[in-house]
Structure 1
Amino acid sequence: MFINKTKDGLNNLCGKNIAKYRKSVKISQRQLADQMQVFGLDLDKNAIQRIEAGKRFVTDIELVAFSNVLKMSFEELLSS
């Protein structure tokens, strides 16, 4: 049976890196959500929180937006 989770049970690979970078540039989850909305994606603070905790899947469209908003490459977002 195929399971759509990482080995440690997370629903995405990028959440930890998003949280780490967001904290390093000292922006809140709310501020990140606001920036994603400016980019055209309807995400709120709760969605960012779930993504960072690995409890929510991230679409490729969202991954592109995170890459642009955070000015990070896909490789940086997806590295473990």
Structure 2
Amino acid sequence: MYKNKLVNGRNNVCGLKIKELRKAMPEHPSQRRFADMLQIVGLDLDKNAVQRIESGSRFVTDIELVCIARVLGVSYEELLDSTAEHLRT
């Protein structure tokens, strides 16, 4: 039976990359500020949703992924890099 989790128990493949890229942004936005930035582009997420995405406890929809990538200034493909080292455990 298929389970919608990675072998490490995470519910998404993009959360750690989102966190890494958010912290690497020039203004180093907090999760709250990042949620505000997402709302400006039309994605209604709050700070708690950002925290759950980054921690891997929340699924991410394709619409959310596209908006998050836009705010981070990367392609959605970069956020979905399943070859990342942190996904192999």
- TM-score normalised to structure 1 length: 0.95
User: What is the identity, as a one-letter code, of the residue corresponding to 2:74?
Assistant: M
* 1:26-50 deviation per Cα after TM superposition (whole angstroms, max 9, x unaligned): 1110111001111111100000000
Cα distance in structure 1, aligned partners of 2:78 and 2:33: 21
Question: RMSD of aligned C-alpha atoms?
Answer: 0.8
Q: Which has the larger radius of gyration?
A: 2
* 1:17-68 deviation per Cα after TM superposition (whole angstroms, max 9, x unaligned): 0000111121110111001111111100000000000000000000000111
- 2:24 corresponds in structure 1 to 24
User: What is the identity, as a one-letter code, of the residue corresponding to 1:10?
Assistant: R
The alpha-carbon deviation at position 75 of structure 1 amounts to 2.2
* Runs of at least 5 residues in structure 1 that lack an aligned partner in the other structure: none
Cα distance in structure 2, aligned partners of 1:63 and 1:35: 14
User: What is the identity, as a one-letter code, of the residue corresponding to 2:21?
Assistant: Y
Identity %: 57
Which of 1-10 and 50-59 deviates more? 1-10
Matched, 1:46 2:63: no
* Structure 1 runs, 4 residues or longer, greater than 4 Å off: none
> Following superposition of structure 1 onto structure 2, how do residues 49-64 of structure 1 map, counting pairs within 5 Å?
49-64=51-66
- 2:79 corresponds in structure 1 to 77
* Runs of at least 5 residues in structure 2 that lack an aligned partner in the other structure: 85-89
- TM-score normalised to structure 2 length: 0.86
